[in-house]
A = this chain, B = another copy of it.
Amino acid sequence: MELLKKVNKIKKIGTFDLEKQLMIIAGPCAIENEEQMKTTAQYLVDHNVHFLRAYPDKPRTSPYSFQGLGSQSHAIIREIKEQYPLFIVAELLNLEDLSFFNDYVDVIQIGARNMQNFALLKCLGAIKKPIILKRGFGNTIEEWLMAAEYLLNFGNDQIILCERGIRTFEPLTRNTLDISSIPIVKQITKLPIIADPSHACGRSDLVKPLSMAAVAAGADGLLIEVHPHPQMSLSDKDQALSFSEFNSLLDDLKALAGLRGLTF
């Protein structure tokens, strides 16, 4: 982990100050239609949340599950980007979409299943964009940091790590949020780290306490699934928060962030 120990923390994304603000990314699991995304975008702007989750593709265990709109959603992203003062966060699955992502996406996610897709890491190492690198659900912290080292080694030092739960024997949650990884990452590296409680637990009723835990443990931000109508979501509907549930979470987060001297 030679480069990892030397590299400095990414400090800003545009005007957003990662050292003074909690990085909250919110939005639906995947882009479903224009109205869904505009409603969400307007809601975030109104509530002082700066990052929109806007995913064209959704990697799915089954080939028969909803896979996302793919490139058909690109027009929606373009419009959102023109009309709302939000940073666009999206996962890159296909290298053929790289040029679109370069032009319209502000923060590119490498998903849990691709954490050790070394061909993808090499390719994203070469671009100049902040990268969210999710931990694989079957991977150790050391392997995760080594994946970050690949990005560094290929030239990209704007890395944000994201803890999203590991696989254990406990069946009441989809995965087990490894809360310890947050302080461990902070000890070993200077990289910012955020948490994704929605994918970690797979249950909307646990998103608030896990979000609070992550921020209390030192997380620099959160990636949260929010949907205008969770029960109509085409994927992962059990884990998406409604707007009113998200409101309540934001209230509690504000007080907690205050203890750490952070705002949104």
Interface positions of A (Cβ within 8 A of B) = 2, 59-64, 93-95, 113-114, 116-119, 136-143, 146, 149-150, 153-154, 166-173, 176-184, 187, 200-201, 205-206, 209-210, 212-218, 252, 255-256, 259
**A194 to B97 CA separation, bound complex (whole angstroms):** 36
B168-A169 in contact (CB<8A): yes
Choose one: B118, B141, B167, B217; the contact of A213 (CB below 8 Å): B217
Subset of 22 A-B contacts with CB under 8 Å? A63-B146, A63-B150, A95-B119, A113-B118, A138-B139, A140-B172, A166-B169, A166-B170, A167-B167, A168-B168, A170-B180, A177-B180, A180-B200, A182-B209, A183-B210, A210-B217, A212-B216, A212-B217, A213-B216, A215-B216, A216-B216, A259-B259
List the B residue with the shortest CB-CB distance to A137: B138
Residue of A64, A119, A143 most packed against chain B (CB within 10 A): A119
A170-B141 in contact (CB<8A): yes
Point out the residues of chain B lying under 8 angstroms from A172, CB to CB. Answer: 140-142, 180, 184
Choose one: B117, B146, B170, B184; the contact of A178 (CB below 8 Å): B170
Point out the residues of chain B lying under 8 angstroms from A113, CB to CB. Answer: 116-118
Point out the residues of chain B lying under 8 angstroms from A218, CB to CB. Answer: 209
A143-B61 in contact (CB<8A): yes
Choose one: B63, B141, B169; the contact of A140 (CB below 8 Å): B169
Choose one: B138, B173, B178; the contact of A176 (CB below 8 Å): B178
**A212 to B137 CA separation, bound complex (whole angstroms):** 24
Choose one: B142, B150, B153, B210; the contact of A180 (CB below 8 Å): B210
Choose one: B136, B139, B206; the contact of A183 (CB below 8 Å): B206
A61-B178 in contact (CB<8A): no
A179-B213 in contact (CB<8A): yes
Point out the residues of chain B lying under 8 angstroms from A170, CB to CB. Answer: 140-141, 166, 178, 180-181
List the B residue with the shortest CB-CB distance to A143: B61
Whole-angstrom distance from the CB of A162 to the nearest CB of chain B?
A: 16
**A169 to B178 CA separation, bound complex (whole angstroms):** 11
B114-A93 in contact (CB<8A): no
Whole-angstrom distance from the CB of A111 to the nearest CB of chain B?
A: 9
Point out the residues of chain B lying under 8 angstroms from A209, CB to CB. Answer: 179-180, 182-183, 216-218
Point out the residues of chain B lying under 8 angstroms from A62, CB to CB. Answer: 146, 149
Whole-angstrom distance from the CB of A210 to the nearest CB of chain B?
A: 6
List the B residue with the shortest CB-CB distance to A259: B255
Besides the known contacts A184-B206, A209-B218, A259-B259, 5 further A-B residue pairs in the complex with CB atoms under 8 A apart: A113-B118, A138-B139, A138-B169, A141-B170, A172-B184
